[in-house]
Amino acid sequence: MSYLLQFCGLTDPLQLFYLEQGRGPAFAGFRPFQLDDLLGWSQTIAGQRHWDVEAIQRAVMEAWIERADLIRQWQLRLRDEPADRLVVAGLGTQRDWEERCEQLLLA
């Protein structure tokens, strides 16, 4: 099974709460936005959802490397944001992301 990690941008805790309530991918907010925190969260999610932990770790590492420039921009931007702002990441299977899109269209 393949997993997709998306970096969704910046938000406040209330919006993150709403994201976490829906079906589909798992979402989390990070401040600071660091690889170690992202890996720890993704491994916890993998355990909760009975996903392949090694595949999740590979997906996270690949996404971090492929999007290094974008991640650096968010890290810098986060410094200028209010203290409650978080960088949001979403992790899920293809089906999780499809469900999320369907949910958005029905809302």
Say if strands 3-11 and 26-30 run parallel, antiparallel, or are unpaired.
Answer: unpaired
75 contacts 68 by C-beta, under 8 angstroms: no
pLDDT in tens, 25-70: 999 999 999 999 999 999 999 999 999 999 999 999 999 999 999 9
pTM of the entire predicted model: 0.91
- Per-residue pLDDT at 5: 95
Find the distance separating the first CA and the last CA of the chain, reported in whole Å: 28
Q: Where are the domains of the chain?
A: 3-106
Query: Sorting pLDDT into bands at 50, 70 and 90, what band is 107?
Result: low
